[in-house]
């Protein structure tokens, strides 16, 4: 007779507005490890879930941008603290999802956490790099500041289930946007876990929303949604990306497509989702 | 429309019925002292070299005293040139073997740790700072300590982004930095020096001020807790001779000094023929310029804050008030009223606004200067507040009818003494504000944006505050022009002092 | 190294020395009036335009700094009792009944029936049609009856209707009238109309004293709050009041600060002391004490009396009673220790 303890299995749900609902459609789909073992019945997100996530992101955006840059940095740094303290759990998820060994899993997690720290340190500096005063030819004080585009839809890269996800969502978030992210279709569990961590790390609800499900079904919804200001097309193939970019043109979205070899210290992702706002003020007695 | 003739009645007698039940008139605040025991001070401290505390070579110690009551807080080590040499050697070795090989991402994480630890031990640090410096606990708690932590947080984020700092690709550090800091914001000044230096990849030898060594020593404990590699930061306590030994040491690549213009001049002379990079943050005689359309109540608070915050021990203090002549009388009246309301007393009391003068020497200097002010013919207003019988105290003072040629209009007093002068036009205000060899900070008070910007453009000051004063942020560069020094601390610009660019 | 002992001695000087005394910290109530009589809207507007602006950042910073005052021990006890005596205990609900009002009045007279040293509150505040009932329940108690009027809370009715509202309340026995200014008129620049209405209502009040509600939440900017305060005071207000309590943003410390500064300046130029009432959203003793600190450090002890400062609140009273008991017993107490209404 075995006294083996039965464990309590985890349900992988959506993250919308700081809460964890199942899909409003009630659907779920089977997620397996890279080696084919059953991992979870993840929520199969619907167009309505995407709609709800966009609503949540929009209503959280003004407040997120109104927080001080220092505060935003603190929030992102705390996510790094959370991730570090739960690194083994993350590493296990990565290993299972990506089919890599434990050591590689740990390395991926370390790289992801260091990336979080990198972004945490950008919030109160990006304005100094992208902004500045402009010496116009007249008695005016003229300055340009980078302001966030608003709500950014992220179609996360399919293979890199954690590191790629972190890059794609934290870049827009650290400059003041809020995000609706479609996690990798086949490898969603690390993203869902990271989403859970944002809830315990001072992220206001709605800043990061994570929808799991079928990319082909959900990406067009996100791309066409007119209240989404920016689109990150990392997670789709070239031809599909072209179609989605065309859909996004409907509301003149800012579209980001990753380059083949993007250097780690490239600012492209940060620049993709900011708008330059320039102010003139007269100078005179 | 009916006329309105204001009456002298103060309400009907209906509410007089309440008099029997009400507690009339006064709200005297009971003492609300923070506990000194939170400081957990040791009876004596050694020098922090190579990651641990050790005795000085000559085994000499001196007392550090609480300026509020003249009681000894602890004994600290008087470092000699031998100790300085050991510290610099250790810092050099740590630079060559460890820190120059530490990636930016790693340095970043050390600095984040230090920032977090400061936050976690903030209450303890605030009490230590108040005991050693004499500043009100409310200020240490709400200003000094949070800004120190924020400074480490900010520069932590630069350590792995130096390529983007505007100094070219892969900028290199200078090497070993010798850093000498003043007694007015002990922990904050330590943060202003260490954070950018470490972010840029330098190692440090930090020399805190003679009268305020303690918070730097507690910071050393924090560096231990953060597991910063030994030798990367060394804390060497002592007096002027210790500082001189550091300045003169041939293996120091960089000297950063904050203190008086007099000492800054000496340091610049002594390092002139060496290879050492130098930045100086020196004295000032800040002008707070008030136009007739200033937002009146906030302006009064700003003037008060500009000169009485930190007992006036602030290099960028608004120690001159330049007020538009048309509103001078009204402003002076309100100022005097506000000065009288300042609570002067026990720095550990949470309701204290103005604390103790940091040392007997400084108190003497302040008295000398105010004596001059009187003898020069300015009109003196001094708060009638009671001063404690022991300790170093000076009642907040305002001098009116000050002339541009008076000593109290030209020389830095570094105490709670304001000199009030008038002007007629914006150009005159600018001329008077600039009529000094200093150039650190100014304030401009007006609701007219274009005029504020016009004045700001013409003021020769490294920092200009509009409708506010004494606002500091790690992202905002701070430093002076002319004899207030050179180099900036804070912001992207603050990295320049510690990079070989 | 010897420590130099320096005693802090006053030293005698021969230069012109203007002695500052403790009296200098007080508000100097003008003996000669330095404010012109208002004869027309243009004059009113000119006076209002000459008022200084308010820097929002500075005002909020000052209020925040005052919030850090640490009020403990006997000061806290004194402040709690002072606050209790300054409460206008309020019920302004559509569902108010004579029973509800009677309950409120009983509590107002004797907040803690087991401890008669607890002061009674300053007033009860009700709708006009319940004034007579409140008066009869209160009898000859020193607790005053304050009535809202002038189409409270919106103020959107004709002047005729608003004045009738006031007269009804006065006839029914109201000692105090809390009117609302016409915010629509104010925000569209018709200051003369706002002023005239205050004057008219003051006249209709007779012997009752007049509180003028500015509705700071709808005025939004501190500049507007300062201006509206002056219009109300020039129009004859005995009190200026922050809010109706019926909108999203009611009393805030910075608004109270700006109003107290206006009251101070008015006393120093027009020679009349006007009271301030903060209302809406003040639930805890901590909140109440913060307001008292702002009063203390802006206008001083003259205003620390129910004659010149009021707290419009309902649940606040129980929190004050709880805190008072906690101070006496040394332990936290349960809410049920006191009656719910």
Q: Which two tokens stand for residue B58?
A: 């000559």
Residue located via tokens 């008991």 = C325
Q: Pick from A81, A114, A119: which is nearest to A200 by CA?
A: A81
B427 in contact with A at a CB cutoff of 8 Å?
A: yes
State the Cα–Cα distance between residues B67 and B390, nearest whole angstrom: 9
* Residue A280, Cβ density class (10 Å: 0-12 exposed, 13-18 middle, ≥19 buried): exposed
C211: annotated active-site residue: no
How far does B71 lie from chain C, in Å, by closest CA?
10
**DSSP H or E stretch at residue B465:** strand B463-466
Q: Which two tokens stand for residue B199?
A: 């972010």
- The average pLDDT across C128-138 equals 97
State how far Cα B115 lies from the chain centre. 19
Question: Which bin fits A72, alpha (ψ -120 to 50), beta or left (φ > 0)?
Answer: alpha
Helix A102-120 vs helix A163-174: angle between axes, to the nearest 10 degrees? 10
State the Cα–Cα distance between residues A235 and A219, nearest whole angstrom: 9
Instruction: Among C305, C308, C311, C327, pick the best mutation site for testing chain B contact (most B Cβ within 10 A).
Output: C305
Size of interface B-C (CB pairs under 8 A): 230
Please determine, for residue B500, whether its predicted confidence score (pLDDT) is greater than 60: yes
Q: What is the pLDDT of residue A1?
A: 52
- Name the band, by pLDDT with cuts 50, 70 and 90, for residue B263: very high
Q: Distances from the Cα of B181 to the Cαs of A13, B20, B178, B438, in angstroms?
A: 54, 59, 10, 19
C window 253-272, beta carbon within 8 A of B: 258, 261, 270-272
Q: What is the pLDDT of residue B289?
A: 98
| 0.95 surpassed by pTM | no
Q: Which two tokens stand for residue C248?
A: 């999203």
Q: Which two tokens stand for residue A63?
A: 């407040």
- Which of B153, B159, B164 lies nearest to residue A129, judging by beta carbons? B164
**Phi and psi torsions of B470, nearest 5°:** 50, 45
**Phi and psi torsions of A29, nearest 5°:** -140, 155
Could you give the percent of chain C with pLDDT greater than 70? 94
- Name the band, by pLDDT with cuts 50, 70 and 90, for residue C30: confident
C72: annotated active-site residue: no
State the Cα–Cα distance between residues C117 and B33, nearest whole angstrom: 30
Residues of chain C found within 8 Å of residue B340, distances taken between Cβ atoms = 20-22, 24-25
Q: Which two tokens stand for residue C121?
A: 């509150």
| Start-end of H helices in B276-393 | 296-308, 328-340, 360-375
Q: Distances from the Cα of A237 to the Cαs of B92, B206, B258, in angstroms?
A: 52, 55, 57
pLDDT tens, residue order, chain A (285 aa):
567 888 888 889 999 999 999 999 999 999 999 999 999 999 999 999 999 999 999 999 999 999 999 999 999 999 999 999 999 999 999 999 999 999 999 999 999 999 999 999 999 999 999 999 999 999 999 999 999 999 999 999 999 999 999 999 999 999 999 999 999 999 999 999 999 999 888 999 999 999 999 999 999 999 999 999 999 999 999 899 999 999 999 999 999 998 888 888 899 999 999 999 999 999 999
Chains C and A touch (3+ CB pairs under 8 A): no
Strands (E) across B109-232 are located at 176-180, 203-207
Residue located via tokens 């007015």 = B184
Q: Pick from B242, B243, B248, B222: which is nearest to B233 by CA?
A: B222
Please determine, for residue B17, whether its predicted confidence score (pLDDT) is greater than 50: no
Residues of chain B found within 8 Å of residue C61, distances taken between Cβ atoms = 301
State the Cα–Cα distance between residues B292 and C229, nearest whole angstrom: 22
Helices (H) then strands (E): counts for chain B: 15, 18
DSSP assignment of C144-191: EEEEE-SSTTT--S-HHHHHHHHHHHHHTT-SEEEEE--HHHHHTT-H
Question: Which bin fits B238, alpha (ψ -120 to 50), beta or left (φ > 0)?
Answer: left
Residue located via tokens 């330590």 = B190
Q: Pick from B306, B307, B301: which is nearest to B331 by CA?
A: B301
Whether the bond between C258 and the residue before it is cis, its omega within 30 degrees of 0, is no
Q: Which residue has the higher pLDDT, B102 or B23?
A: B102
Q: What is the pLDDT of residue B491?
A: 97
Please answer yes or no on whether B427 and A285 come within 8 Å at the CB atom: yes
Parallel, antiparallel, or unpaired for β A38-43 and A28-32? antiparallel
Q: Distances from the Cα of C110 to the Cαs of C86, C105, C144, in angstroms?
A: 14, 9, 13
- Name the band, by pLDDT with cuts 50, 70 and 90, for residue B22: very low
Q: Which chains touch A (3 or more CB pairs under 8 A)?
A: B
Residues of chain B found within 8 Å of residue C120, distances taken between Cβ atoms = 21
B33 in contact with A at a CB cutoff of 8 Å?
A: no
Q: Pick from B368, B160, B169, B173: which is nearest to B254 by CA?
A: B173
Q: What is the three-class DSSP state of C1? A: coil
State the Cα–Cα distance between residues B452 and A119, nearest whole angstrom: 36
Query: Are B145 and B187 contacting, i.e. CB atoms less than 8 angstroms apart?
Result: yes
Please determine, for residue B83, whether its predicted confidence score (pLDDT) is greater than 90: yes
Q: What is the pLDDT of residue C34?
A: 78
DSSP assignment of chain A: ---PPPP-PPP---BBTTB-PPPTT--EEEEE-TTS-EEEEEE---HHHHHHHHHHHHHHHHHHHHS-HHHHHHHHHHHHHHHHHTHHHHHHHHHHHHT--HHHHHHHHHHHHHHHHHHHTTTTTHHHHH-EE---SSSEEEEEEEEE-SEEEEE--SS-TTHHHHHHHHHHHHTT-EEEEE--SS--HHHHHHHHHHHTTTPPTTSEEEE-S-HHHHHHHHHH-TT--EEE-TTS-HHHHHHHHHHHGGGT-EEE---SS--TT--HHHHHTEEEEEEEEE---
Question: Which bin fits B132, alpha (ψ -120 to 50), beta or left (φ > 0)?
Answer: alpha
C6 in contact with B at a CB cutoff of 8 Å?
A: yes
Q: How many CB atoms lie within 10 A of CB A25?
A: 14
- Which of A122, A125, A283 lies nearest to residue B453, judging by beta carbons? A283
Q: What is the pLDDT of residue C328?
A: 85
Q: What is the three-class DSSP state of B62? A: strand
DSSP B64: E
Q: Which of B34, B139, B315, B496 is catalytic?
A: B315
- Name the band, by pLDDT with cuts 50, 70 and 90, for residue C10: very low
Q: What is the pLDDT of residue C29?
A: 80
Q: Which of B34, B139, B210, B281 is catalytic?
A: B281
Strands (E) across B60-150 are located at 61-66, 71-77
- Which of B3, B22, B360 lies nearest to residue C38, judging by beta carbons? B3
Question: CA Rg, chain B, in Å?
Answer: 24
Instruction: Among A73, A75, A142, A283, pick the best mutation site for testing chain B contact (most B Cβ within 10 A).
Output: A283
How far does A60 lie from chain B, in Å, by closest CA?
25
Please answer yes or no on whether B17 and C40 come within 8 Å at the CB atom: no
Q: What is the pLDDT of residues C271-326, one digit of tens each?
A: 999 999 999 999 999 999 999 999 999 999 999 999 999 999 999 999 999 999 99
- Name the band, by pLDDT with cuts 50, 70 and 90, for residue C18: low
Q: To the nearest 10°, report the CA torsion of C182, C186, C188, C189.
A: 140
For chain B, what percentages of helix, strand and coil (3-state, to nearest 5) are there? 40, 20, 40
Residue located via tokens 């401290």 = B45
How far does C317 lie from chain B, in Å, by closest CA?
15
Nearest CA in chain B to C294: B27
- The average pLDDT across B149-178 equals 97
- Name the band, by pLDDT with cuts 50, 70 and 90, for residue B8: very low
Looking at the DSSP assignment, which residues form a beta bridge with residue B177?
B204, B254
Q: What is the pLDDT of residues C213-253, one digit of tens each?
A: 999 999 999 999 999 999 999 999 999 999 999 999 999 99
Q: What is the pLDDT of residue C336?
A: 85
Q: Which of C241, C265, C287, C319 is catalytic?
A: C241
- Name the band, by pLDDT with cuts 50, 70 and 90, for residue B93: very high
What residues contact residue C100 under an 8 Å CB cut-off, 6+ apart? C91, C93, C341
Parallel, antiparallel, or unpaired for β B52-54 and B397-400? unpaired
- Which of C20, C86, C209 lies nearest to residue B14, judging by beta carbons? C209
Helix A163-174 vs helix A69-85: angle between axes, to the nearest 10 degrees? 160
Q: What is the pLDDT of residues B182-214, one digit of tens each?
A: 999 999 999 999 999 999 999 999 999 999 999
Strand ordering across the sheet containing A254-256:
A208-211, A178-182, A151-155, A230-232, A254-256
C45: annotated active-site residue: no
Looking at the DSSP assignment, which residues form a beta bridge with residue B377?
none
Q: Which residue has the higher pLDDT, C274 or C6?
A: C274
Q: Which two tokens stand for residue B300?
A: 């009064």
State the Cα–Cα distance between residues B139 and A104, nearest whole angstrom: 49
CA angle A236, A268, A47 (to 5 degrees): 35
DSSP B345: S
C173 in contact with B at a CB cutoff of 8 Å?
A: no
Question: CA Rg, chain C, in Å?
Answer: 22
């Amino acid at each position: 007779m075995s006294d083996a303890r039965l464990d309590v299995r985890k349900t992988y749900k959506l993250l919308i507005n700081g809460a964890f609902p199942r899909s409003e459609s009630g659907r779920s789909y089977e997620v397996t490890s890279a080696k084919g073992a059953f991992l979870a019945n993840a929520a199969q997100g619907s167009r309505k879930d995407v709609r709800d996530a966009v609503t949540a992101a929009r209503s959280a955006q003004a407040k997120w941008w109104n927080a001080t840059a220092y505060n935003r940095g603190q929030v992102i740094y705390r996510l790094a603290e959370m991730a570090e303290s739960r690194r083994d759990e993350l590493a296990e998820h990565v290993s299972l999802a990506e089919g890599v060994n434990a050591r590689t899993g740990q390395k991926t997690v370390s790289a992801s956490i260091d990336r979080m720290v990198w972004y945490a340190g950008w919030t109160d500096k990006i304005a100094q790099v992208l902004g500045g005063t402009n010496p116009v030819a007249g008695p005016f004080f003229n300055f340009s500041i980078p302001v966030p585009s608003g709500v950014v839809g992220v179609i996360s890269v399919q293979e890199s289930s954690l590191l790629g996800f972190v890059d794609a969502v934290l870049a827009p978030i650290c400059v003041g946007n809020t995000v609706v992210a479609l996690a990798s279709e086949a490898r969603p569990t690390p993203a869902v876990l990271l989403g859970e961590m944002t809830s315990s790390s001072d992220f206001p609800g709605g800043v990061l929303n994570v929808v799991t499900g079928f990319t082909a079904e959900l990406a067009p919804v996100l791309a066409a949604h007119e209240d989404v200001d920016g689109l990150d097309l990392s997670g789709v193939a070239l031809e599909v990306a072209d179609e989605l970019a065309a859909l996004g043109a409907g509301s003149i979205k800012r579209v980001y497509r990753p380059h083949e070899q993007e250097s780690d210290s490239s600012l492209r992702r940060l620049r993709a989702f900011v708008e330059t706002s320039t102010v003139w003020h007269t100078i005179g007695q | 429309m009916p006329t309105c003739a204001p009456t002298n009645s103060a309400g009907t007698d209906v509410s007089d019925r309440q008099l029997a039940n009400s507690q009339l008139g006064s709200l005297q605040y009971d003492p609300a002292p923070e506990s000194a025991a939170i400081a957990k001070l040791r009876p004596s401290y050694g020098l922090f070299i190579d990651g641990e505390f050790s005795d000085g070579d000559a085994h000499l110690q001196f007392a550090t005293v609480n300026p509020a009551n003249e009681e000894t807080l602890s004994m600290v080590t008087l470092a000699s040139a031998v100790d300085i040499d050991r510290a610099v050697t250790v810092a050099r070795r740590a630079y060559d073997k460890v820190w120059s090989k530490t990636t930016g991402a790693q340095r970043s994480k050390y600095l984040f740790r230090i920032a977090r630890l400061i936050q976690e031990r903030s209450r303890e640090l605030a009490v230590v700072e108040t005991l050693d410096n004499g500043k009100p606990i409310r200020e240490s708690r709400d200003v000094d300590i949070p800004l120190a932590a924020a400074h480490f947080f900010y520069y932590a984020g630069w350590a792995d982004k130096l390529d983007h700092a505007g100094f070219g690709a892969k900028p290199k550090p200078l090497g070993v930095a010798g850093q000498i800091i003043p007694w007015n914001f002990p922990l904050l000044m330590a943060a202003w020096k260490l954070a950018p230096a470490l972010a840029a990849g330098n190692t440090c030898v930090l020399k805190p001020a003679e009268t305020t060594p303690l918070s730097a020593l507690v910071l050393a404990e924090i560096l231990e807790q953060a597991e910063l590699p030994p030798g990367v930061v060394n804390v060497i306590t002592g007096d002027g001779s210790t500082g001189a030994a550091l300045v003169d040491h041939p293996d120091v690549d960089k000297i950063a000094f904050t203190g008086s213009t007099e000492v800054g001049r000496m340091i610049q002379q002594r390092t002139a023929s060496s290879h050492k990079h130098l930045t100086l943050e020196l004295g000032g005689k800040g002008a707070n310029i008030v136009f007739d359309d200033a937002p009146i109540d906030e302006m009064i608070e700003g003037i008060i804050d500009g000169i009485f915050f930190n007992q006036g021990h602030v290099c960028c203090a608004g120690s001159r008030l330049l007020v538009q002549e048309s509103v001078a009388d009204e402003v002076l009246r309100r100022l005097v009223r506000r000065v009288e309301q300042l609570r002067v007393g026990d720095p550990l009391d949470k309701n204290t606004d103005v604390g103790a003068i940091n040392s007997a020497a400084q108190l003497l200097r302040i008295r000398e200067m105010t004596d001059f002010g009187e003898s020069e013919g300015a009109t003196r207003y001094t708060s009638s507040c009671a001063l404690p019988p022991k300790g170093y105290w000076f009642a907040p003072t305002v001098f009116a009818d000050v002339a541009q040629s008076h000593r109290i209009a030209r020389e830095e007093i570094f105490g709670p003494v304001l000199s009030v002068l008038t002007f007629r036009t914006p150009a005159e205000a600018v001329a008077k504000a600039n009529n000094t060899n200093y150039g650190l900070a100014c304030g401009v008070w007006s609701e007219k944006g274009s005029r504020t910007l016009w004045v700001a453009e013409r003021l020769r000051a490294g920092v200009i505050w509009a409708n506010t004063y004494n606002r500091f942020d790690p992202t905002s560069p701070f430093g002076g022009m002319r004899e207030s020094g050179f180099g900036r601390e804070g912001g992207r610009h603050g990295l320049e002092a510690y990079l070989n660019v | 190294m010897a420590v130099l002992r320096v005693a802090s001695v006053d030293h005698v000087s021969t230069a012109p020395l203007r002695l500052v005394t403790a009296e200098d910290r007080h508000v100097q109530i003008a003996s000669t009036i330095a404010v012109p009589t208002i004869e027309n809207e243009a004059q009113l507007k000119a006076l209002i335009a000459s008022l200084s602006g308010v820097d929002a950042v500075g005002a909020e910073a000052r209020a925040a700094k005052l919030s850090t005052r640490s009020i403990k021990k006997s000061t806290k006890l004194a402040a709690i009792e002072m606050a209790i005596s300054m409460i206008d205990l309020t019920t302004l609900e559509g569902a108010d009944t004579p029973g509800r009002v009677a309950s409120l009045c009983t509590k107002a007279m004797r907040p803690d029936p087991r401890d008669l040293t607890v002061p009674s509150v300053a007033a009860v505040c009700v709708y006009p049609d319940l004034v007579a009932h409140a008066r009869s329940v209160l009898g000859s108690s020193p607790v005053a009856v304050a009535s809202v009027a002038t189409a409270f809370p919106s103020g959107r009715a004709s002047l005729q209707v608003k004045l009738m509202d006031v007269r009804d309340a006065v006839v029914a026995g109201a000692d105090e009238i809390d009117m609302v200014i016409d915010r629509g008129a104010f925000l569209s620049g018709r200051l003369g109309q706002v002023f005239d209405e205050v004057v008219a209502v003051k006249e209709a009040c007779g012997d009752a004293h007049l509180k003028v509600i500015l509705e700071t939440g709808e005025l939004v900017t501190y500049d507007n709050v300062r201006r509206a305060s002056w219009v109300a005071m020039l129009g004859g207000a005995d009190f200026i009041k922050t809010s109706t309590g019926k909108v999203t943003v009611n009393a805030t410390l910075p608004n109270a600060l700006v109003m107290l500064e206006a009251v101070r300046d008015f006393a120093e130029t027009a020679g009349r002391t006007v009271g301030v009432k903060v209302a809406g959203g003040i639930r805890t003793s901590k909140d109440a004490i913060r307001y008292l600190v702002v009063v203390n450090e802006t206008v001083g002890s003259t205003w620390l009396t129910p004659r010149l400062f009021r707290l419009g609140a309902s649940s606040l009273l129980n929190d004050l009673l709880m805190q008072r008991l906690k101070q006496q017993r040394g332990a936290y107490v349960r809410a049920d220790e006191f009656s719910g209404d």
